[in-house]
């Protein structure tokens, strides 16, 4: 019997997009009596009922820390896996065995500088160089690389001179909460029609352009931002038309999407763009920046705008219609967590054998 070890330290919604990916990958693994799956998890999810069918080992150090390198090596010596799947670029560089890695994006290659971080400038550059080194080692050392979009596959191939056969695309999916429109009513602060954005507020998310567009519309529309408040909020333009909704559950997000006029993704760089697909799944029109991976993922099912032109975005918000909804449902149907997980399993088997 072969043993596959999955690095699940970033399991769960706490870790946003990566956490969703890890959770759905494990939830949808196909049964195989010839393969034993072992997980490495953080202490807080060791007792998670959804993971009860797996043998688990606890890693206590943060995945980005130097100490985690030694901890992971020690755990892997105990497990002795035939294949290790590292679900981020945080590869244990000392491990000599077969490794598959998932690189969700290379945003930090493109969004660079102290303004993209809250860290001390000296510490930022030190950590940034460490990030570049670790990604290069991960790309070189791994037997196979998984990415969520063709955009990132081509980026990796060009950046690191890789053979196309070393990189596979496994598109992500939409959770049942959104597919079945399971909603939970939440109090909304809006007095006028509103559009909604979900995600963090890092500079590459381009929220400034969205707020400028809302201001151009002079209060005809308000903007709801689903996000835990961060230091980056204080760097954004001020507007009486912007309401911060905080961190919501998936069920509450469904409710907000249904009540909104449109979902807007102004981001200059995205790994996959899952929130936009989730909005599509509940019948909300989507407006997206014509940038990075978004046209690949959303296809003809949304309205695109120039991500550097707030007037263009304002015009698209003002003219948005529900006619996109049928196209959106068809686009969402192209993506499946089950397909993602089964394709990943086939990659495991190919590397093992």
- Give the β-pairing of 242-246 and 262-265: unpaired
The rounded mean pLDDT for the chain is: 95
Would you say 59 and 71 are in contact if contact means Cβ atoms under 8 Å apart? Answer: yes
Mean pLDDT, residues 104-119: 89
For the stretch 245-299, pLDDT in tens is: 999 999 999 999 999 999 999 999 999 999 999 999 999 999 999 999 999 999 9
Would you say 258 and 177 are in contact if contact means Cβ atoms under 8 Å apart? Answer: no
Give the chain's domains with CATH numbers: 2-173+336-352 (3.40.50.2000), 176-332 (3.40.50.2000)
Distance CA 43, CA 25 (A): 20
Distance CA 201, CA 16 (A): 13
- pLDDT for residue 228: 78
Using a pLDDT cut of 90, give the percent of the chain over it. 88
pLDDT band at 183 (very low <50, low <70, confident <90, very high): very high
- pLDDT for residue 39: 98
Query: What are the backbone dihedrals phi and psi of residue 303, each rounded to the nearest 5 degrees, phi first?
Result: -95, 130
For the stretch 156-178, pLDDT in tens is: 999 999 999 999 999 999 999 99
Whether residue 136 is predicted with pLDDT greater than 90 in this model: the reply is: yes
Whether residue 118 is predicted with pLDDT greater than 90 in this model: the reply is: no
- Give the β-pairing of 55-58 and 303-305: unpaired
Helix (H), strand (E) at residue 24: helix 16-27
For the stretch 303-323, pLDDT in tens is: 999 999 999 999 999 999 888
pLDDT band at 233 (very low <50, low <70, confident <90, very high): confident
Q: Is 139 helix (H, G, I), strand (E, B) or coil?
A: helix
- pLDDT for residue 202: 92
The CA R_g of the chain, rounded to the nearest whole Å, is 21
Please give the C-alpha separations between residue 213 and each of 235, 262, 321, in angstroms, as whole numbers: 17, 14, 17
Burial 182-210 (b: 16+ CB within 10 A, else e): ebeebeeebeeebbbbbbebbbbbbbebb
Q: Is 115 helix (H, G, I), strand (E, B) or coil?
A: helix
Q: What is the DSSP string of 271-317?
A: SS-HHHHHHHHTT--EEEES-TTHHHHHGGGSEEE-TT-HHHHHHHH
Mean pLDDT, residues 209-237: 90
């Amino acid at each position: 019997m072969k043993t596959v070890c999955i690095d699940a330290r970033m399991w769960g919604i706490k870790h946003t997009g990566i956490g969703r990916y890890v959770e759905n990958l494990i939830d949808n693994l196909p049964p195989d009596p010839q393969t034993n799956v072992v997980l490495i998890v953080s202490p807080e999810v060791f007792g998670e009922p959804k993971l009860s069918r797996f043998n688990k080992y606890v890693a206590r150090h943060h995945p980005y820390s130097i100490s985690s390198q030694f901890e992971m090596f020690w755990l892997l010596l105990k497990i002795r896996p035939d294949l290790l799947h590292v679900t981020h670029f945080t590869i244990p560089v000392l491990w000599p065995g077969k490794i598959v890695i998932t690189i969700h994006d290379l945003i930090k290659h493109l969004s660079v500088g102290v303004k993209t971080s809250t860290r001390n400038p000296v510490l930022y550059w030190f950590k940034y160089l460490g990030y570049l080194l670790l990604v290069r080692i991960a790309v070189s050392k791994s037997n196979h690389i998984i990415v969520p979009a063709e955009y990132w596959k081509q980026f990796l191939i060009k950046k690191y001179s890789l053979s196309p056969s070393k990189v596979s695309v496994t598109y992500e999916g939409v959770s049942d909460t959104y597919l079945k429109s399971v909603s939970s009513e939440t109090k909304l602060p809006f007095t006028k029609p509103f559009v909604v954005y979900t995600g963090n507020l890092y500079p590459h998310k381009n929220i400034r352009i969205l707020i400028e567009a809302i201001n151009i519309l002079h209060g005809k529309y308000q903007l709801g931002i689903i996000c835990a408040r961060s230091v980056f909020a204080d760097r954004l333009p001020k507007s009486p038309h912007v309401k911060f909704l905080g961190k919501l559950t998936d069920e509450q997000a469904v409710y907000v999407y249904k009540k909104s006029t449109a979902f807007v993704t102004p981001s200059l760089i995205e790994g996959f763009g899952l929130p936009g697909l989730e909005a599509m799944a509940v019948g909300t029109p989507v407006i997206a920046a014509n940038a990075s991976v978004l046209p690949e993922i959303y296809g003809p099912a949304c309205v695109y705008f120039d991500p550097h032109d707030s007037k263009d975005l304002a015009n698209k918000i003002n003219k948005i219609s529900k006619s996109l909804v049928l196209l959106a449902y068809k686009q969402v149907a192209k993506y499946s967590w089950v397909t993602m997980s089964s394709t990943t399993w086939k990659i495991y088997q190919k590397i093992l054998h």
